[in-house]
Structure 1
Amino acid sequence: MIDRIIRSFELVKASWRILMEDKKLLAFPILSGLVTLLVIATFVIPLILSNSAYSLSTNSVAGIVLLFLFYVVSYFVVIFFNVGLISCVQAKLNGKDMSVGEGLSAAGRHLGAILAWAIVAATVGLILRMIEDRAGFLGQIAAAVVGGVWSLVTLFVVPVLAFEDKGVFAAMKESLELFKKTWGESVVGTISITLVFAAVGFVGVLLFLATLFIGNPTLIIAALVLLLVLIVVLAILASAMQGIFTVALYTYAKTGSAPGVFPPGSVEGAFAPSAQQQFGPGNI
Structure 2
Amino acid sequence: MFDRFRRGLAVIDASLDVFRERPRLAVLPLLSLAVIGSAYTVGAVAGLHYGLVDAVFTNRLVKYGVIFAGLAISSSVGIFFNAAVVHCATRQFAGEEPTVRDGLAAAWAVRGRIAKWGLLSATVGTLLSVLNDNVPGVGTLTRSILDLTWGLLTFFVVPVIVTDRTDALRSDLRRSGDAFARTWGESVTVTFGIGLALLPVALIGVCLLAVAYLSATGIAAYLMGAIGGLLLVAAIAVTQVLGMIVRAALYRYATTGEPVGPLEALSPDDIFSE
TM-score, length basis structure 2: 0.87
- In structure 2, the residue matched to 1:43 is 43
Task: Give the equivalent residue in structure 1 for 2:237.
Answer: 236
**Number of aligned positions between the proteins:** 272
Matches within 5 A, 1:111-260: 111-134=111-134, 139-166=139-166, 167-205=168-206, 216-218=216-218, 219=220, 222-259=223-260
Tell me if structure 1 keeps the 8 A contact 2:160–2:172.
yes
- Cα distance, 1:268 vs structure 2: 5.2
Change (3 A) 1:209 1:66: closer
% identity of equivalent residues: 27
**In structure 2, distance between residues paired with 1:138 and 1:196:** 34
Contact 2:212 2:222 in 1 (8 A): no
Q: CA RMSD in A?
A: 2.8
Which runs of no fewer than 5 residues in structure 2 stay unpaired? none
Distance 1:112 1:263, change over 3 A: closer
Relative contact order, CA 8 A, sep 6+: which one is greater? Answer: 2
Deviations 1:3-58 (A, max 9, x none): 33322222111111111111121121111111111111121111112222565569
Native 8 Å contact 1:10 1:266 kept in 2 = no
TM-score (norm 1): 0.84
| AA matched with 2:243 | Q
Equivalent position of 2:16 in the other structure: 16
Q: Which moved more, 1:255-264 or 1:93-102?
A: 255-264
- Residue type of the alignment partner of 1:155: F
1:75 has 2:81 as partner = no
Of stretches 69-78 and 27-36 in structure 1, the one that deviates more from structure 2 is 69-78
Q: Show structure 1 runs of 4+ deviating over 6 A.
A: 135-138, 207-213
CA contact (8 A) 1:131 1:140 kept: no
* Higher helix content, 1 or 2: 2
1:91 is aligned to: 91
The 3 A distance-change label for structure 1 pair 109 and 52 is same
**Alpha-carbon contact 1:182-1:272 (below 8 Å) kept:** no
Distance in structure 1 (CA, Å) of the matches to 2:56 and 2:269 = 44
- Aligned partners of 2:58 and 2:101: how far apart in 1? 38
Q: Letter of the aligned partner of 1:192 in structure 2?
A: G
